[in-house]
Amino acid sequence: MAGPIRNAANYPLFARAGTIPDVSGALQDYFQMMTFSQVTKTVQGFQVDESALPINFQGCWFPYSERQLLMLPEGQRSWSHFMLFADPTLTLQTDDVVLWNGIQTRVLGRMDYGLYGYVQYHLCQDFTGSGP
């Protein structure tokens, strides 16, 4: 007589190797080559020196839908919000300022799904000339 039937419900998440699906292969077909310019500001001799460092990575850029904007806790809907899905080589931090296609955005949040093969960023259009 065989033992009891055991399925995925019998194992907690992360209990066994291979329980997290790596979706990076599927995302590579979806991603495109992107180049951001990371804006950094320094003060030298009482003058603000602004420089842009190019960052190349694979990713996909989405504007927020109307429903996602309605659910934002700050209730600000006139600003443009974006989601960025990227390969884990992109390492932006909260409050970083980046330029893409002439749009200056600020990183509001980073969600690390490295186990799945990607990272997700929440960006908001930033006022031109403002920086860290």
Collect all residues with Cβ–Cβ distance below 8 Å to 81 and sequence separation of at least 6. Answer: 63, 64, 68, 69, 72, 122, 123, 124, 125
In a domain, 12, yes or no: no
The predicted-structure confidence for 30-64, as pLDDT tens digits, reads as follows: 888 998 888 887 888 888 787 888 999 999 988 87
Residue 130 has pLDDT above 90, yes or no: no
In a domain, 97, yes or no: yes
What whole-number distance in Å separates Cα of residue 119 and Cα of residue 23?
11
Least confident of 8-12, 93-97, 105-109, 115-119: 8-12
In a domain, 10, yes or no: no
In a domain, 67, yes or no: yes
Predicted local confidence at residue 17, as pLDDT: 58
In a domain, 110, yes or no: yes
User: How many domains is the chain built from?
Assistant: 1
Question: Of 7 and 130, which is predicted with more confidence?
Answer: 7
CATH label of the domain that carries residue 119? 2.40.10.270
User: What residue numbers bound the domain in which 64 lies?
Assistant: 21-125
In a domain, 78, yes or no: yes
Residue 121 has pLDDT above 90, yes or no: yes
In a domain, 107, yes or no: yes
Question: Of 25 and 105, which is predicted with more confidence?
Answer: 105
Residue 129 has pLDDT above 70, yes or no: no
Model confidence at 111, pLDDT cuts 50, 70, 90, reads very high
Mean per-residue pLDDT, 89-97: 89
Residue 119 has pLDDT above 90, yes or no: yes
- What does the mean pLDDT of the chain come to? 79
Instruction: Please report the sign of the dihedral spanned by the C-alpha atoms of residue 73, residue 77, residue 78, residue 83.
Output: positive
In a domain, 16, yes or no: no
Task: Read off the pTM.
Answer: 0.72
